[in-house]
Structure 1
């Protein structure tokens, strides 16, 4: 069964991963979500191992500007207009960048209050997504929902998201997402 938004915000405050499912008429897919301020290497490893999708850092336009991140591509022709920027890596404190520890460090570096573009390098192993200023009221996507929930939880305007794939490589939907949520004891909301 689906959880209330209030319960999801409580999970966000506690640093517990939760699942957000978008509209049936959109992707109708579920993402693992956590405020970026609550990320650590164990949560990155869970997302990589059990989510299996691309691990992305959802940020607001202000952060994208501070990091000097341009959209990739400059003319977005994707069906859902997902605002990917060029991928990033922390400039210091990482090895190859792909380990769970390195990816968590990159995220923590990118969301620092006074971060500068010189603190990151490109390309890298974290994929930033820029949320619309109006949040889910402007675009009903996982990017905006993760940023909105992180803000409501008092965790700042950034979230980490990862699509949930089935073991056969297909996207988890419907009852598969509910079973997944039960298996890992995660709250799920639409």
Structure 2
């Protein structure tokens, strides 16, 4: 197994252990990258880490069918969209205003719970939701996040937030910044290209 395959296995292990990983959009000259974790493991500390180092806009990526089951309507009128943004949500119970790291972590866990029903959620809320096709070829960070979480045995819900750049804090992390961020925080970094290449043959 080459370095890419080893990185993929390491990413699975980290996600299964409740740790975040970094997913960047391309091997060479990445233009964006995100902190990714299994939504089922979205503790307060994990959500706080993502909020502090990311854009602040947390979202949970779900399969299209699951958003339908949970009655979370799409805000995107295009049925050809690779990723459809949906109405934001909060958990119905055991949260306060919905905006804190604790509350958004709680909502993420509710979204990840296969036993959750539409009645367990309030719409709109403070946690964004997006929908992807779990069977599609991986081409985006969101699709890669969903595939990685699923393959790690952590269900079908991925917690995602884009990393803000260090050289340009008004933009997203790009170039060498995602891997530098991963190295600083001891995180696995993997690209969409690697996920596409290796999950396609497994």
Counterpart of 2:26?
Answer: 23
Q: Is the 8 A contact 2:30 2:175 kept in 1?
A: no
RMSD: 2.3
2 CA distance for matches of 1:91 and 1:151? 25
With normalisation by structure 1, the TM-score equals: 0.89
Counterpart of 1:83?
Answer: 84
Offset at residue 185 of structure 1 (A): 1.2
Counterpart pick for 2:70 among 43, 67, 71: 67
Counterpart of 1:172?
Answer: 173
1 CA distance for matches of 2:151 and 2:39? 13
Counterpart of 2:162?
Answer: 163
Give the ranges of 4+ consecutive aligned residues of structure 1 lying more than 4 Å apart after TM superposition.
24-27
Extract unaligned runs of 5+ from structure 2.
192-202
Residues 51/24 of structure 1: CA separation in 2 closer, same or farther (3 Å cut): same
What secondary structure does 1:109 align onto?
Answer: helix
Q: Is the 8 A contact 2:22 2:182 kept in 1?
A: yes
2 CA distance for matches of 1:67 and 1:25? 38
Q: Is the 8 A contact 1:53 1:164 kept in 2?
A: no
Counterpart of 1:109?
Answer: 110
Offset at residue 160 of structure 1 (A): 0.3
Q: Is the 8 A contact 2:134 2:147 kept in 1?
A: no
Offset at residue 144 of structure 1 (A): 1.4
1 CA distance for matches of 2:64 and 2:127? 17
Q: Is the 8 A contact 2:29 2:174 kept in 1?
A: no
2 CA distance for matches of 1:27 and 1:188? 12
Offset at residue 62 of structure 1 (A): 2.7
Offset at residue 134 of structure 1 (A): 1.5
What secondary structure does 1:84 align onto?
Answer: strand
Residues 189/25 of structure 1: CA separation in 2 closer, same or farther (3 Å cut): closer
What secondary structure does 2:86 align onto?
Answer: coil
Counterpart of 1:46?
Answer: 49
Counterpart of 1:118?
Answer: 119
Offset at residue 25 of structure 1 (A): 8.9
2 CA distance for matches of 1:24 and 1:163? 17
1 CA distance for matches of 2:181 and 2:132? 27
Counterpart of 1:57?
Answer: 60
